[in-house]
Chain A
Amino acid sequence: MNDTNTINTVMRTLADPTRRGVFERIVQSKEITVSELTQGSGVTQGAISQHIKSLKQAGLIAERPEGRNVYYRAEPAGLAPLIDWLDYYAAFWQDRFANLRALLKEIDHE
Chain B
Amino acid sequence: MNDVSLMSGMQEIVVDEVFPHSPEIIWKALTSGELMARWVMEPTGFAPVEGTQFTFQTKPAGEWDGVIRCKVLEVIPNERFAYEWKSGHGGNVGYGSLLNTVVTFTLTKVEGGTRLRLVHSGFELPKNHTAFESMSEGWPEVIHNLVAGAAGEDPSKN
**Which A residues contact B (CB, under 8 angstroms)?**
3-4, 6-7, 11, 14-15, 17, 20, 24, 27, 74, 76-77, 79-97, 99-104, 107-108
Contact = CB atoms under 8 A, between A and B. Distances in A.
Interface size class of B (residues with CB under 8 A): 35 or more
Contacts of B93: 3-4, 6-7, 81
Interface string B129-153: 1011001100100111011111110
18 contacts: A3-B62, A6-B93, A7-B128, A11-B128, A11-B132, A81-B95, A84-B126, A85-B95, A86-B126, A87-B144, A87-B147, A90-B13, A93-B13, A97-B118, A99-B40, A100-B26, A103-B35, A104-B26
B95 A104 contact: no
Contacts of A84: 94-95, 97, 123, 126, 128-129
B94 to A, nearest CB: 4
Contact of A93 (B21, B120, B149): B120
A74 B146 CA distance: 9
A86 B11 contact: yes
Contacts of A7: 93-94, 128
Dominant SS among interface residues on chain B: mixed
Contacts of B15: 93-94, 97
A91 B19 CA distance: 19
Interface of B: 11, 13, 15, 17, 19, 21, 25-26, 28-29, 35, 38-40, 61-62, 88, 91-97, 99, 116, 118, 120, 123, 125-126, 128-129, 131-132, 135-136, 139, 142-144, 146-152
Contacts of B139: 14, 20
A80 to B, nearest CB: 5
B135 A14 contact: yes
Contacts of A88: 95, 147, 151
A3 to B, nearest CB: 4
B13 A89 contact: yes
B146 A79 contact: yes
A52 B143 CA distance: 19
Contact of B40 (A3, A6, A96, A104): A96
- The 3 closest A-B CB pairs, nearest first, are A99-B39, A91-B151, A84-B126
